[in-house]
Amino acid sequence: MMTVIEGEKMSLGTLVKVARGYEKVKLTSEVKKRVSASQRLLERLLHTDKRIYGVTTGVGIWEKIPLEGQHEELQKRVILSHMTGAGDPIREEEVRAAMVLRANVIAKGYSAVRLEVLETLLAMLNQNVVPVVFQKGSLGTSGDLVPLAHIAAVIMGEGEACYEGKRRKGRKAMEKAGIPYQKFALRDGMGLINGTSISTGIGGMALYDGFGLFNNALIASAMTVDSLQSSLDPFDPKIHSLRPYRGQGVVAETLRKLLKNPASSIQHPASRKAQDAFSLRCIPQVLGASLDAFQYAKEQLEIEMNSASDNPLFIPSTFSKSSIQHPASNIQFLSGGNFHGQSVAIALDLFAIAMAEVGSLSERHINRLLNPNLSGLPGFLVEKPGLNTGLMLLQYTACDLVSENKILAHPAVTDNASVSADQEDHVSMASLSARKARTIVENVKTILAIQFICSAQAMEFREVSEVGMGTKAAYQAIRRVVPKLINDRPLSPDIEKIRRLIEENGIMEAVENEIGKIKE
């Protein structure tokens, strides 16, 4: 299989196939024509008296300084001057995600980047030459300038890259892979860095993983409901039809499916309470709101993935989307702000908040499972207390991560910095939004692993035959890798095993093999 890069059909799933699954990429002949036409348009504009930002002028505050006939040197120096990244390198799959997204922008044909440069970028993806890109330095406007400069540098034989498992000088990595590096000209450097590809790449990968974690959160919640023999009434479809949020209804329906057991007529005996606690009774309302937020973030990011995130934009006379104010025959290039990451930042900040809430609810479930005053089960789910501490300390770890998530859920987009001598006086901080979201996803993965361990241990004190078909399948999948706790043992290895099981979709597959797709 190969992914066609054509500027219009990039999705989260396609992004992950290329970035994480190493699927090869290619261009169509139509894309090659568009990109070449964009380059020729810029060449013609150079013979006019028009001032073209970052081509015949300096950049940032220096846009007032005219530069003629120095295109190659300007593009090179723009990249070198923007290589100010700091911190640890970002993950290779995230760099690959940014690379394919930047290729998708150029493939739209509005960036005036030479075809040879785009083809080099794709060759690097196909040969897995991955530039070393550092975590910190982007303000999300004018695009992810700093981290994207570290990618662009390798295309011209500078910087550093990883190839065949070894970190090398950019030129050496390219030579080793048999990829000719490029001398930049016209607008090659600017077109590679003036957009949101790092923020969208990191955020897109985190969001994709977030959807997978959400499915695991539904399973873990159902296991907790079964373990605590909570009432099933709160999941009745009549309740949710009267408050028709899509996410709320989907969560309630999924819980009913996970908890269904046609063979048991006494699955949940009459509750001793009139109502269960909010963390049990309101699972559809809490997780449903997060699911709706996830969906919004997905829609926003997929728009961004297929947008001309660049400036200026070189628009041919055949452009069909032009407005009345700009007749197509007059359009050549327009300066604007499509590099601004505000939409990405807001979407990812919302996703981060929604993901943090998934972890927060999970910790409340862990608390109810471990507290004998709430669960009706042995304290900390151990049969011989006193000498054994049981699962008590698992909650400590979960609480630590939940607290960190609360801090990280503070929106980055509400911050601002004014840079480039106030020429760039409103920024989005989208890259920070993406990094925070990614960390929250990793934290929630651990919190859910802890909830799975606690829920499975709680089921040891119930009749497993009387739990839901879906929750029983999850219990069995967990027990294949983590045994019942009888006497105290180090639990960090158990957490890691369940984290790995989540990453490999082991629990999801076991459940869906038993009851079918849990959520459409």
Active site (catalytic) residues: 53
Helix (H, G, I), strand (E, B) or coil at 150: helix
- Structure tokens that stand for 407 in this block: 């801090």
Phi and psi at residue 182, in whole multiples of 5°?
-110, 145
Phi and psi at residue 27, in whole multiples of 5°?
-110, 155
Please choose, from the candidates 345, 351, 300, 306, the residue with its C-alpha nearest in 3D space to the C-alpha of residue 138.
Answer: 345
CA–CA separation, 480 vs 504, rounded Å?
A: 14
Please choose, from the candidates 214, 224, 208, 5, the residue with its C-alpha nearest in 3D space to the C-alpha of residue 115.
Answer: 5
CA–CA separation, 502 vs 449, rounded Å?
A: 8
Query: Kind of pairing, strands 2-5 and 24-27?
Result: parallel
Please choose, from the candidates 72, 96, 98, the residue with its C-alpha nearest in 3D space to the C-alpha of residue 21.
Answer: 96
CA–CA separation, 404 vs 422, rounded Å?
A: 34
CA–CA separation, 54 vs 48, rounded Å?
A: 16
Which long-range contacts (C-beta less than 8 Å, at least 24 apart) are formed by 11-17?
Answer: 11/302, 11/305, 12/204, 12/207, 12/208, 12/211, 12/298, 12/301, 12/302, 13/208, 15/97, 15/100, 15/101, 15/201, 15/204, 15/205, 15/208, 15/305, 16/205, 16/208
Maximum distance among all Cα pairs of the chain, rounded to whole angstroms: 86
CA–CA separation, 381 vs 391, rounded Å?
A: 6
Distance of CA 158 to the CA centre of its chain: 28
- Structure tokens that stand for 332 in this block: 């050549």
- For residue 217, what are the CA distances in angstroms to 146, 353, 363? 36, 15, 11
Task: Please write down the HEC assignment for all residues of 106-145.
Answer: HHCCCCCCCHHHHHHHHHHHHHCCEECCEEECCCCCCCCH
Paired residues of 5 in beta bridges: 27
Orientation of helix 170-177 relative to helix 145-155, angle to 10°: 50
